[in-house]
Structure 1
Amino acid sequence: MTWTLETLCRRRVRYDDLVPCRNAFVDTRSPGSDRKENFTIIGPGVAESADQHVHIPEPHGFNVGGARQPDGCLNSQHSHEGAEVFVVHTGHWRLYFGPEKEDGSLDIGPGDVVSVPVHMFRGFEKLDAGTGFLWVVLGGDDPGRVRWAPSVFELAEQHGLVLLKSGRLVDRSAGETVPEDEEVETAPRAGEVARLVTPSPERLAQCLVRHEALRGNPDAVLAASGVEECSVIAPAASGDGFAPGPIIGWWPHGFQLRVLRLTEDAATADYHCEEPEVLFVQSGRIRLISEAGELTLATGDTFTSPQGWTHRLEADADAEVVVVRGGDAPAGPRLVA
């Protein structure tokens, strides 16, 4: 396929163009959670509301979304069937573990990456003043549904929201009723809660990479003067010079995550990937150069590269770019002479 700037622009989602959903989940009206915004950038995501806007529906083998919250705003305790990875774009956050936040917490800040294990309860709160944004990667084309802690159901009922087993929300306060052919979802019983066990602090520490701990790999295919690529999530060795780690995980991810750093005026070589590749500009500003011309990505923008598309990245100023490539062991970038 011949790519034009027009078709490539459709694969770019500007931060300022993100369409939020403010009633995405059953905890939407719970006190402390009623000011959050959820985003599905590369869908379909895990939202329970038909109002959720999907920016790019194309299957990638993983999903990309986001959460934007003001200070003090809480995302309630829930469990995932698949991988859930948080990249802190802005703000300081606290992750809470356990069905009632009784199993400890973890504070994370800009540039930190954490992959929360499956089958455990987690929630998160924005701590500092102002609004913050988490860029989120979920495993699988269908990331499944979230399982909410018992108290979330109790609060939702008090505020007129009912979750159906099909994953759809019913707003009784707006006069909606449960369809006759649908069943209401119930809170997890004690036995199910007991099976969703929080790992030890030592195991959870294996799921976090601090921004200051990022280290470039000199053997990376894209490594060059002013360009370094840092591994963050690698369940297995890849085809472009990366060993497993530092986050490996004991559950499937279905993708690898890196951080690409470019100094001002630095550029990668021309390359292409056969697997899906998604870029998120954590900081700075870059240009994607190809036969189609130049496409600019600013801080907070997301772009999905067409598979097999030859391009390079150039930095107008020092930049950090989060890179997600599909597969636990992707072949990675292939240089083009």
Structure 2
Amino acid sequence: MSKMSNKLSSRISLPLYFSLAVFVIFLITVMITGLLFYLANVFGLLNEEISQDGTLLPVMTLIACTIIGTSISAVTSRKMVKSIRMFIEATDRLAKGDFSMRLQLKSPPEFKILSENFNRMAEELGGIEILRTDFINNFSHEFKTPIVSIKGFAEVLKHDDLSKEERDEYLDIVIEESARLASLASNVLELSKIAAQTILTNKVRFNVGEQIRQSVLLLAAKLEKKNMLLNVNVQDYNISGNKELLNQVWLNLLDNVIKFTPDNGLIEVDMKQNENTIVILFRDNGSGISPEGLPKIFDKFYQQDTSHSTAGNGLGLAIVNQIIHLHEGTIACSSTPSQGTTFTITIPDGL
């Protein structure tokens, strides 16, 4: 009820503001005109002939009211015109890329709302510009590093005095860096595609527990290679969503915990059902994430391992985050250094 009254008051406040302004201008005009004619009559400026003339006096009154009313309107409208000019100047600066511009209009109420919406828009555009700049810088760095590496080793491979072992080692590095470039390009395209989606398409109802078990089987070779202990506790719960996109989520998260868990480590996958939601946990006993790095874990190109000794380009968790939000779910990460990391996904079951 209060929202409706506020909305109604905001709708009628500007017309009321203008109506009141017109009434005040009219009232002041009439009062000043009447006062001038009264003084003119007192000081004998209006003779009896003019007073009895049925045409001249109304014309004089009309001219006086027009001049006085126009003068008062010009003075009182300066504030309104000033506010509009401030808004035009602010939009002009915003269009030129100055996202620090803010408006502080207080009245009438509609101008205050306009000011608040403008400031919110400028803040959002400023945030988007920062993200765009960071994305370009990070992408350029990630893209340049393997290219420089490939170029360097390709030049070394031109030497005829290399042994077979050295040549094979350098070729393996070139192949690895080429695969890294291909993975980076694929992930950037995938992230751009998902980020551009606003409506979830190709929704089906499927068994998410079975999908997670299949994801575990796909990564079984990596688990065996590091001799890891896996504890999977998932049930056959059905959810509505894009099956292909959610499959990327489970594969990315599993691959991530495997990557950052040492040999002979423990990985746990747990699932439980709450009211209208499914909660899925991926937990490891690896090295964990530093408190400084935890807030950045879902940022594009962020990598906990700054030495880049582990495979990856920092886009996997950003993709996971976008997909979960597209499904109107949430993902959170908690971690304790030297003890492990837990990813908690809460997703509506779609019922």
TM-score class, shorter-chain normalisation, is under 0.3
Q: Which of 1 and 2 has higher RCO (CA within 8 Å, sep 6+)?
A: 1
| TM-score where L is the length of structure 1 | 0.23
Higher fraction of helix = 2
Higher fraction of strand = 1
| TM-score where L is the length of structure 2 | 0.22
Over alpha carbons, which structure has the higher Rg? 2
